Amino acid sequence: MSLMRGDLASYRGDGLVTYDTATRLEWLNLGLTANHSCLDAQGLRFVTHGGFRFATGQEVGELWAHAGISRQSGPGGPDPASTAGVDALLRLLGGSSLSGSINSALVVERSAGFVTETAAFVAMTPVVRFELHLNRTSSPMNGYGDSGGGAWHAGDRDEATGVYLVRARP
C-alpha cells in the first residue's frame, strides 16, 4: 500500500491528511468536510488558502486501488484484500459513521464523500457520492467501495458525507 497518514498543520501529529506516495497527492480527512455541500467546500479555508481542490472520480478510484480495494462496484462475496483496503481507508480518511439497529447484530462502518466532475457548478449540478462499506459483524470480510450519482447535487449536504478534497504535495 502506498498510503500513509500525514499532517495538515505545519507541526506534526494532527494526522488530518492521507498521503498517496504513488500519486503524490494529499487527501483531506473527510470528517473536516462532513455535512458540507460542494458549494460550501468552495469557501472553506482548505480550498481558499490550503491549496486543496476537488478530487475527480478517477482520482478517488486510484486512491481506492492503491489501498488494495478491487471491489469498487458494490457488495459481493468475501474479499479479504478489498476488506483490508476499506478498513485502512476508513481509518486514514476519517469521516466514518456506524449504522445498525437495536434489533440486529448488523453494524456497518462507512465513509462517504462527494466528488464534482466539473470546475464550474451550481447547486443543482449532479455530483457523485463515493462510499466505503465495512460490515464489522455479520460479514466482516465483505468490505467494498461503491459510487453513484443521480440523487445528489452540488448544493446537497449530508451529516455523514464529506467532500473529497486533494492537493499535490508541496
Please choose, from the candidates 124, 107, 126, 117, the residue with its C-alpha nearest in 3D space to the C-alpha of residue 164: 117
Q: What is the pLDDT of residue 70?
A: 84
pTM above 0.85, yes or no: yes
Who has greater pLDDT, 13 or 38?
A: 38
What pLDDT sits at residue 103? 54
The CA distance from 140 to 80, in Å, is 9
Averaged pLDDT for residues 55-78? 87
Rounded CA-CA distance 125/119 in Å is 11
Containing domain of residue 81, as a range?
A: 3-168
| Cα gap 38→111, rounded to integer Å | 16
Is residue 106 scored above 70 in pLDDT? no
Domain count for the chain: 1
Q: Are 107 and 136 in contact (CB under 8 A)?
A: yes
Per-residue pLDDT tens digits for 124-157: 999 999 999 887 776 777 788 888 866 899 999 9
Cβ 110 vs Cβ 159: under 8 Å? no
Q: Mean pLDDT of all residues in the chain? A: 88
Q: Going by DSSP bridges, is the β-strand pair 107-115/161-163 parallel, antiparallel, or unpaired?
A: parallel
